[in-house]
Amino acid sequence: MKTCNSESPTPKSTEISTVGPAKIANPIKFGRFVEEDDAVLVNISRRTVEGASKSRKKPEHIYFEPAGPRDKIYYDPSKTKCAVVTCGGLCPGLNDVIRAIVMAAFHEYKVPSVLGIQYGLAGFIPEQGYDVIELTPDFVSRIHEFGGTVLGSSRGPQDPEAIVDALERMNVSILFMIGGDGTMRAASTVVAEIEKRGLSISVVGLPKTIDNDINYVSPSFGFDTSVETAAMAIKGAHVEATGAPWGIGMVKVMGRDAGFIAAQSALSCQEVNFCLIPEEPFDIYGEKGFLAALDERMKRRGNAVIVVAEGAGQDLLEASGKQDASGNVKLSDIAALLKREILDHFRKQDIEATLKYIDPSYIIRSVPANANDRIYCSFLGIHAVHAGMSGRTGLVISRWNGRYVHIPMAVVTRGKKRINTCSNYWRAVLESTGQPVSMKND
């Protein structure tokens, strides 16, 4: 019986905190303001809206707060100073988000100053010696054309007390933190320290990870670009595989705990024959194992393309026992194991297979954002400014059910989003690749 990954549990509370009551008239003159009683349903299926047909109990609806400008704001724009920091690994779209924040703050609210904190949370620590960058419309006007982040980034925790000390020294009113779930956990500790001191400083998070594994963020920015870039590598692997006798192309993509890049790029190419992800365990050997399935494919078609997420098959390898600066366990190299075992498997049959291995990992995360991600990043940055100016804090900007929403950091950091391997989405991947439903022997 196949075991399915569980879906993310419905959050119990989605209330967004504020630093105080909003009493100042919003200076924006064009467009509509979001009504305070508006809401976006978390679950929108008929079953969740109407309730089960046999149940007399009325369903309890959970809502997210919509993002967008309010008619009243908390901060006086003429006296407001903002700060932006990018944390963790690189991702397409970072510069686009920075640019959108700066442009919205200056042009919509006439905020006099937006500071850029260099090299992640380390930029708040005086001993590190990093200068602060004054972000102006002129400075950010063309940064969206380039990959990476103009502010630089870093991994690793920093003392929340030291971070809040720096915010006080710089007289910052709103801090925008761009990063993944680890950054949002760090942001939560900063919010807690701010509340402990009784300060009126808003902290707004923007979800960044090409792995697309952040809870209730659908998708995270940069994911679309990463899939598009991975697809180019897969097409190259396909050309190599079909250009040699017994040709095999193997592409390793990012995906520590979730295989969204591998699955989505496999669907986009339609040339992938095996998609290996962390959520779906597999055996290498045995009657139903991966090598048996690959052997059948090769003898039937003469070539194969394999896409493997970096976190797949870790149970088949010896754990490294090491961690990176963010506390993530350093993964063992599944691609090296597969390459060795594939070639050895065919060599034992006196077959010299030709295997071409492509690892586009850092290309995937360092390229400029594509058109879809640029648009998405712009909306995220703009809505982050609206949220911060209204005095909201401890939230993450997201897109959910077609609407931009505010999600509490506590909900986002509760766990990681993963592929449900009993879902129609994963079934579509299996149908596209033609691989077996399971490559486990038990």
Q: Which residues of 243-260 are buried (b: 16+ CB within 10 A; e: fewer)?
A: ebebbbbbbbbbbbbbbb
Q: SS3 string of 31-64?
A: CCCCCCCCCEECCCCHHHHHCCCCCCCCCCCCEE
DSSP label of 18? E
How many C-beta atoms lie closer than 10 Å to residue 334's C-beta?
Answer: 20
Instruction: List phi, psi (to 5°) of 329.
Output: -65, 130
* Burial 187-204, CB ≥16 within 10 A → b, else e: bbbbbebbeeeeeebbbb
Catalytic residue among 96, 181, 211, 257: 211
Q: How far is CA 79 from CA 75, 104, 389, in A?
A: 8, 16, 11
Burial class (CB in 10 A: 0-12, 13-18, 19+), 79: exposed
By DSSP bridging, strand 113-117 and strand 81-86 are parallel
Residue 144 CA to residue 264 CA, distance in Å, equals 25
Token pair of 342 as six digits: 């594939």
Comparing CA positions, the residue from 337, 340, 317 lying closest to residue 329 is: 317
Q: Is 139 helix (H, G, I), strand (E, B) or coil?
A: helix
Q: How many CB atoms lie within 10 A of CB 156?
A: 15
Q: What is d(CA 165, CA 163) in angstroms, rounded to the nearest whole number?
A: 5
Q: How far is CA 136 from the centre of its chain?
A: 27
Verify whether residue 211 is a known catalytic residue.
Answer: yes
Closest by CA position to 104, among listed 375, 395, 384, 392: 384
Residues in the chain: 442
What span, in angstroms and rounded, lies between the C-alpha atoms of 442 and 281? 11
- What is the H or E stretch that residue 301 is in? helix 290-301
What H or E segment, with its residue span, contains residue 164?
helix 160-170
Catalytic residues: 211
